[in-house]
Amino acid sequence: GPVRMHFDARGAVSNLRVVPQAEQSSAPAGGDVELRVRAVGLNFRDVLNVLGVYPGDPGPPGSDCAADVVRCDAGAPHLCVGGAVLGHGLAALASVAVSDSRLMAAIDDSLS
């Protein structure tokens, strides 16, 4: 089944662990899109986040992703179910993520 990275406490990379991820129970709404994550970009902000030295609350690690659209709201006319996308997925260090469709772009043949 789907999994996600989780940590109970910031401070060390060793605090990260893989845990089961609950299936999305409700359909996306308000322009959101449900994604099957294929790749995640980790950056220095994510390292600082996990180590607990990022100022403020950066949220869960993993934000840049490439994914396939599983479900989308009618407010996402530029995306289609089954289509490949890239952009900012919220808590994307997981099998499934939800994002605001305005933060995602369709991957077409011009991108490799």
> Cα(77)–Cα(13) distance, rounded to whole angstroms?
39
In order of their start, the domains of the chain are 3-106 (3.90.180.10)
| Strand 84-88 relative to strand 96-100, pairing | unpaired
pTM: 0.87
- The 10s digit of each residue's pLDDT in 72-97 is 988 889 999 999 999 998 889 999 99
Segments in the chain below pLDDT 70: 112
Q: What pLDDT score was predicted for residue 72?
A: 92
Give the Cβ contact number of residue 78 at 10 Å.
12
Please check whether residue 4 is in contact with residue 21, taking contact to mean a CB–CB distance below 8 angstroms.
yes
> Cα(94)–Cα(74) distance, rounded to whole angstroms?
24
